[in-house]
């Protein structure tokens, strides 16, 4: 959520910055709502002062010799009218505040000055490419054909069990999927100084509001039916970032910031992707991710984004998978993000780079929603943290990239060097 004081100071400047995202901020609507809330507060304060004076009048009358019952009776009509007006104004002020809160909850984050102009992914800015796509001397198969021919991927059975956009894995492919998770976790814990956490796969509304999935993106979520109002997590970002909700972290614990790594399944309805990536594992309702989350001091957040993105890149480099890094433009950046890098891995069967990780700096946007703060030793006052996260990596898409980039003419798949200790084999046949 944006800083309300910042918006009040210069709403037009905020609108101009949000225009980079192609978001139309209704300045007049905001000012009207804010003025209605302000006026209701002023009128309420005036009535409270009148009530105080009326109550004081009773004491003055009693002091002048009037019996207390008569004194109360003489001002009761005035007090009753004030109470009635106060009740109306309280309801009016509450409604104005709720409407203003709803408006603020629907406003996306202000993009960082580095974010380029643009409408969609075609306007994203390529920063670098790593690795050279392999040349094949045979007809390249996509991961679906490779996996099915190896007896390790089964989408028909998954459709029978549940429906479309699910998969069943068997044998060495299931083992490679598990190996990737272990490899990613071990790398981030051992080499990048993250603390592993295990979290629930279901969260409440407050958690989803905190990271910005609610109220705007409810259609993308799977809501559970029952006595409790729970949702399946769309990403580990939600529960892990919310570990610091309603918390003040002491300065001594913020020297290097807080780094968490977490493996979870993720559940998404893919409401806006009808007809896209219907084949295979690229876009599924259930998939696995290893997620990186950092919570840092504001002064450290830009450097933290570069570091976190580098940690995700390290996985791709150790797996020797060609990829490119792009800076998302204003029209493609996520609702809560201030600045985002996407890492896109090369998929030879598609002859293009596809997203495998999104690494974002949210500034204080999420922390303001969650009341996640740290105590600044210079002022000894709580200040909002900055939050960041990124996939490192999306496990299913990493498996897809390995099956396609490491396939051989006979249909087998070479195991990447760093996964051999986990797989206990060199080739999947």
Domain 121-428 bears CATH identifier 3.40.50.460: no
List, for residues 373-412, the tens digit of each pLDDT value: 999 999 999 999 999 999 999 999 999 999 999 999 999 9
- CB of 117 closer than 8 Å to CB of 20: yes
pLDDT over threshold 80, residue 62: no
355 in a known ligand binding site: yes
> What is the per-residue pLDDT for 390?
98
235 in a known ligand binding site: yes
378 in a known ligand binding site: no
List, for residues 103-160, the tens digit of each pLDDT value: 999 999 999 999 999 999 999 999 999 999 999 999 999 999 999 999 999 999 999 9
How would you class 379 by CB atoms within 10 Å of its CB: exposed for 0-12, middle for 13-18, buried for 19 or more?
exposed
Closest C-alpha to 246, from 374, 375, 370: 370
- CB of 86 closer than 8 Å to CB of 51: yes
121 in a known ligand binding site: no
pLDDT over threshold 80, residue 99: yes
H or E stretch at 216: none
Closest C-alpha to 116, from 108, 126, 101: 126
Residue 91, CA distances (Å) to 32, 45, 87, 97, 266 in order: 17, 14, 6, 10, 41
398 in a known ligand binding site: no
301 in a known ligand binding site: no
Average pLDDT over residues 275-285: 89
Q: What angle do CA 53, 56, 57 make, to 5 degrees?
A: 90
Bridge partners for 258 per DSSP:
295
List, for residues 322-380, the tens digit of each pLDDT value: 999 999 999 999 999 999 999 999 999 999 999 999 999 999 999 999 999 999 999 99
356 in a known ligand binding site: yes
* Residue 223 DSSP class: B
269 in a known ligand binding site: yes
> What is the per-residue pLDDT for 109?
98
Cα radius of gyration rounded to whole Å, the chain = 28
383 in a known ligand binding site: no
Domain spans in the chain, listed from the N-terminal domain onward: 26-106, 121-428
Bridge partners for 323 per DSSP:
130, 345
Dihedral over Cα of 165, 171, 176, 182: its sign: positive
Bridge partners for 359 per DSSP:
341, 390
Model confidence, pTM: 0.91
List, for residues 180-192, the tens digit of each pLDDT value: 999 999 999 999 9
Q: How many CA atoms lie within 13 A of 264 on its CB side?
A: 26
């Amino acid at each position: 959520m944006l800083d309300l004081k910042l918006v009040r100071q210069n709403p037009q400047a905020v609108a101009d910055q949000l225009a980079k995202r192609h978001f139309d901020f209704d300045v007049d609507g905001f000012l009207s709502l804010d003025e209605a809330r302000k006026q209701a507060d002023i009128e309420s304060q005036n009535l409270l002062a009148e009530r105080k004076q009326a109550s004081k009048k009773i004491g003055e009358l009693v002091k002048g010799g009037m019996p207390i019952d008569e004194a109360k009776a003489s001002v009761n009509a005035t007090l009753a009218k004030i109470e009635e007006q106060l009740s109306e104004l309280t309801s009016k002020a509450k409604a104005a505040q709720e409407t203003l809160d709803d408006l603020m909850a629907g406003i996306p984050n202000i993009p960082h000055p580095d974010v380029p102009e643009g409408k969609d992914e075609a306007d994203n800015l390529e920063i670098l490419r790593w690795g050279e796509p392999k040349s094949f001397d045979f007809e390249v198969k996509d991961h679906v054909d490779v996996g099915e021919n190896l007896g390790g991927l089964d989408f028909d059975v998954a459709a029978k069990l549940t429906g479309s956009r699910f998969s069943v894995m068997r044998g060495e492919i299931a083992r490679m999927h598990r190996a990737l998770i272990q490899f990613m976790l071990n790398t981030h814990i051992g080499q990048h100084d993250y603390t592993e956490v295990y979290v629930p796969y279901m969260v409440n509304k407050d958690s989803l509001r905190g990271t910005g999935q609610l109220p705007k993106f409810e259609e993308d979520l799977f809501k559970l039916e029952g006595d409790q109002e729970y949702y399946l997590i769309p990403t580990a970002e939600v529960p892990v970032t919310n570990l610091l909700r309603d918390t003040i972290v002491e300065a001594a614990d913020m020297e290097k910031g807080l780094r968490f790594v977490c493996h979870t399944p993720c559940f998404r309805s893919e409401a806006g992707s009808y007809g896209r990536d219907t084949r295979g594992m690229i876009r599924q309702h259930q998939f696995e991710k290893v997620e990186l989350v950092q919570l840092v001091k504001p002064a450290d957040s830009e450097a933290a984004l570069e570091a976190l993105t580098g940690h995700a890149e390290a996985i791709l480099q150790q797996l020797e998978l060609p990829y490119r890094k792009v800076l998302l433009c204003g029209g493609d950046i996520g609702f809560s993000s201030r600045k985002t890098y996407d890492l896109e891995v090369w998929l030879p069967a598609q002859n293009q780079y596809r997203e495998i990780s999104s690494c974002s700096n949210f500034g204080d946007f999420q922390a303001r929603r969650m009341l996640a703060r740290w105590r600044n030793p210079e002022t000894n006052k709580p200040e909002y943290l900055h939050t960041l996260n990124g996939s490192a990596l999306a496990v299913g898409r990493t498996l897809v990239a390995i099956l396609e980039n490491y396939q051989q003419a006979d249909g087998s798949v070479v195991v990447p060097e760093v996964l051999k200790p986990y797989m206990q084999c060199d080739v999947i046949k």
